[in-house]
Chains A and B, each alone.
Chain A
């Protein structure tokens, strides 16, 4: 919040140019699920693990964060970030939304922001502050990790759901930081399950999730043979494909590698008994996503807030693509 206020305080611009993205289209998330392309070592196997719904009902908590580009100023870009925690307890869903927090990212303040990342272990290998355009996603990740930390520290004997994977060692997922999050959760008898909606992992040329098509739900497909690390990238979880309900969908599921395998599978069985699952996806995680995502109305509302609060005039600059190419100009101007 302080970072948001600090960044906004330094707006030295007369105008706000709204983002070129048509607002009647749902805004896309700027936080990409951290998946990576790791080669699979041979010989590798796929093992099907049938699951049974556990009667031991547990609290399920999910976290998700969204960020969106709001517009541009003379000196930088404006974005907004919002996090959501959803949990199911005693057959009741509850949520807490944090934000939205607007940020003004400029060449001047990006170093300050980068310093903050470094303090939280978000250091990149080239030791240079990332481009303005990437900082938005980083800030989102920072909030997400902060919320995940809060949950790891406060939840006990709980199923914690993350949106994404447990791949560490990339710009937005420092190994130490993520290991610490998992360790705290583990010590409090909680299990972290990370669901990836999209995965780039492939096995024999096919997408991992394709292998679950013929599997009888509820089940997990255990993929053996993934390397634990590849350069700076490290897998902190065991990789599974989860097909938890009948239907066409299945997801890559990472379970904390340091949790005993049986306890990890028990956690998934507990999830079956503790949460609603639609198309193999936990409802709690779906709600966290829904409550964090920005709608077009909210984007306009945030633009109005910024214009009102910081005295910016909303102007629309001519779209060069549209001017040059007319109906053939594709996409927003960068």
Chain B
């Protein structure tokens, strides 16, 4: 391999067909004279622009059609000519430089063109060189060369991450893998499970319990996830009424009076609340508004007056505090209004608990968050909430539903295949990688392969095949023709 050209942070390297290099591989350009190394990653492999190639191909194309012939080439020169024809140009992005074995991000240094040696380097040895492998490893899968790829739990701690890719590429699978990886190290994880896909985390593929059986708590609103009014502070109730049920300002003020009065009386049943609204000497329209919201709360089935059967987040988090655990909020078959009620309660309660230091921090995994997360939460999550200890991981197949500023502030992106240019354009706005890398590599990712970008991989983007998990698969598409053999 020979260095050909450098433009900005793009390096062009001339390579012969026998060089075993592919898109995504890392190359080390080493200039021994100055004891510097440049770390580059191949983002595209093109044919080298060899002079005369067009004539060559035109001549060859004639022979394919109706002209038959053979070459008498006793000296074997043809193999060298073919070699030239197949010469490749590797388009590489500079990821950093190493000066005296220390990593520098400065890419302005120009290695010697004639003397530099270029070698392929495995991702793991690259991480070793830059001192990247810390403790608490989470095995994501394997790199292209078959070596295991680990990220560390530290890489997800205090971070904002996005898992995205088109339908059926393995996003949820990776998300589950990260959830269990965090649980392994005693972390508390809350999963907002839109399609009931995470319910099988505590079961092995064959159906029996697995090592996570005691650590995965699936909460289904209205079934084993119900809350009492007494558990909620006024702030949480108001969030539900205002954001989930759209209670207007005047009615909100009236509700505050009612709640204060009930609080003084120590009466926090649904029945008491209904009676208080009925007795309220307010404007008829305000009362009607309050009643309609009250009935929505009652009809959601999420609220109970039975303190015994009410779910206590505090108690659940107590369980997860020692050995870690995952609370899976199963939002499958929950109407959009009820979903928002549940979400407002969950997030409101979480923030309260974190604020009061009842729990240290929580990793939140949100699937298709745009379907239930209100507008103002996006800003909150990336700015305020992480200071409370709520670390969010968004999982989506519609990248444009996540705001651009979220991409810019994302610490890591786990990118699965996208073929749609617009989707790739959206993801390429991420601050931690150049758009060319995203567009070039993500379009060719096979299923269950992802491109890891950002802090999780020390800003060295890498392609990985996500490893399989021994868990019960849920959320699979139901097929009509599943058992029919095709003709």
Q: Which residues of A contact B (CB under 8 A)?
A: 1, 4-5, 22-24, 26, 80, 86, 92-102, 287, 290-291, 295-302, 304-305, 308
Contact = CB atoms under 8 A, between A and B. Distances in A.
Given A100-B77, A297-B85, A24 B51 contact: yes
Interface in B36-55: 50-53, 55
Nearest to B70: A96
Contact of B81 (A23, A96, A101, A298): A298
Contacts of B63: 95
Given A97-B71, A290-B59, A297 B83 contact: no
Contacts of A295: 52-53, 55-56, 59
A16 to B, nearest CB: 13
Contacts of B480: none
B83 to A, nearest CB: 7
Given A96-B69, A297-B85, A305 B75 contact: yes
Contacts of B479: none
Contact of A291 (B50, B68, B69): B69
Contacts, number: 97
Contacts of A299: 52
Given A92-B66, A291-B59, A99 B73 contact: yes
Nearest to A23: B51
Contacts of B76: 305
B310 interface: no
A70 B141 CA distance: 51
Given A23-B51, A297-B51, A96 B72 contact: yes
A22 B75 CA distance: 26
A93 B65 CA distance: 10
Contacts of A97: 69-73
A237 B85 CA distance: 43
**4 cross-chain pairs, A with B, having the tightest CB-CB distances, nearest first:** A296-B52, A301-B81, A95-B69, A295-B52
A316 to B, nearest CB: 11
A171 B412 CA distance: 76
Contacts of B62: 287, 290
A297 B69 contact: no
B65 to A, nearest CB: 10
Contact of A99 (B50, B72, B80, B82): B72
Contacts of A101: 75
Contacts of A302: 77, 80-81
A304 B51 CA distance: 15
B448 to A, nearest CB: 40
Given A97-B71, A291-B69, A295-B55, 15 more contacts: A1-B75, A22-B51, A26-B52, A26-B55, A86-B69, A93-B68, A95-B70, A96-B71, A99-B77, A291-B59, A298-B84, A300-B84, A301-B81, A304-B80, A305-B75
B76 to A, nearest CB: 8
B56 A298 contact: yes
B52 A23 contact: yes
A100 B77 CA distance: 7
A160 B80 CA distance: 33
22 contacts: A5-B75, A26-B55, A86-B69, A93-B66, A95-B70, A98-B72, A100-B77, A287-B67, A297-B50, A297-B51, A297-B52, A297-B53, A297-B55, A297-B84, A298-B56, A299-B52, A301-B77, A301-B78, A301-B84, A301-B85, A304-B80, A305-B77
A93 B69 CA distance: 8
A308 B80 contact: yes
A6 B283 CA distance: 113
Contacts of A308: 80
B208 interface: no
A66 to B, nearest CB: 13
Nearest to A287: B67
Nearest to A295: B52
A95 B76 CA distance: 18
Contacts of A95: 63, 67-70
A305 B77 CA distance: 6
B68 A304 contact: no
A296 B48 CA distance: 14
B77 A296 contact: no
A94 B73 contact: no
B52 A24 contact: yes
B266 interface: no
A4 B69 contact: no
A94 B70 CA distance: 8
A55 to B, nearest CB: 22
Nearest to A294: B52
Contacts of B84: 297-298, 300-301, 304
B74 interface: yes
A297 B84 CA distance: 7
A300 B71 CA distance: 19
Contacts of B67: 93-95, 287
A291 B84 CA distance: 18
Nearest to B16: A304
Contacts of B80: 301-302, 304-305, 308
A300 B14 CA distance: 14
Interface string B361-394: 0000000000000000000000000000000000
